[in-house]
Amino acid sequence: MKSQNQQLKPQDVLLLLKIVSDNNPSWNQKPLAEALGLSQSEVSEAVARCKYSGLLAPNGKTVMKMSLMEFLQYGLRYVFPQKPGAVVRGVPTSHSAKPLSDEIQSSEAYVWPYGKGTVRGHSIIPLYPSVPEAALKDEKLHALLALADALRVGRARERELAVKELKKRLELGE
């Protein structure tokens, strides 16, 4: 790869969470790109950045789950910060989506703005523009992205519950 900027981009987190949700060690870039609304070159560049940062194994196929968990838990809200915005129609995220919606009762919904969304709530700009559509196609990915958003925008309790749930889903134990 050319010597270009190796800093992580938001779509890298999307890619890693999709790989985790699919749980298929022999995944291919083309179907992944289609599922995420990314081009194949974006997926290829994301793989290179994730390998460089240690979030993907050198083989480029295996997510380094402990490293990903550390990044999500301690870095995500600083690297890709977000504050709730105007009330719009969209797809539920953070504590408004499963699995956190089962544990947290809130009168304030958080959503990714999306014309075909069914819920009105405060807008949370997704990690990448294709997130709402990709999440609607994949329930497991939706849950992982919503948990990641809880880490980005949630208060202490939401973040604590999200960390616990992410560790469970990444099979890291307690």
Per-residue pLDDT tens digits for 97-133: 999 999 998 889 999 999 999 999 999 999 999 999 9
Grade residue 4 by pLDDT with cuts at 50, 70 and 90: low
Task: Please indicate, yes or no, if residue 4 is contained in any of the structural domains.
Answer: no
Determine whether 171 is exposed, middle or buried from the number of CB atoms within 10 Å of its CB (0-12, 13-18, 19+). Answer: exposed
For residues 82-103, average pLDDT: 96
Task: Say which CATH number the domain at 34 has.
Answer: 1.10.10
Adjacent-strand bridge partners of 121: 88
For residues 6-33, average pLDDT: 96
Question: Do residue 72 and residue 100 come from a single domain?
Answer: no
pLDDT of residue 3: 54
30-62 pLDDT per residue, tens = 999 999 999 999 999 999 999 999 999 999 999
Tally of CB atoms within 10 A around 58: 9
Report the alpha-carbon distance of residue 148 to residue 150 in Å, rounded.
5
Task: Please indicate, yes or no, if residue 133 is contained in any of the structural domains.
Answer: yes
Region at 23 (left for phi over 0; alpha for psi -120 to 50; beta for the rest): left
The tally of domains found in the chain comes to: 2
Grade residue 1 by pLDDT with cuts at 50, 70 and 90: very low
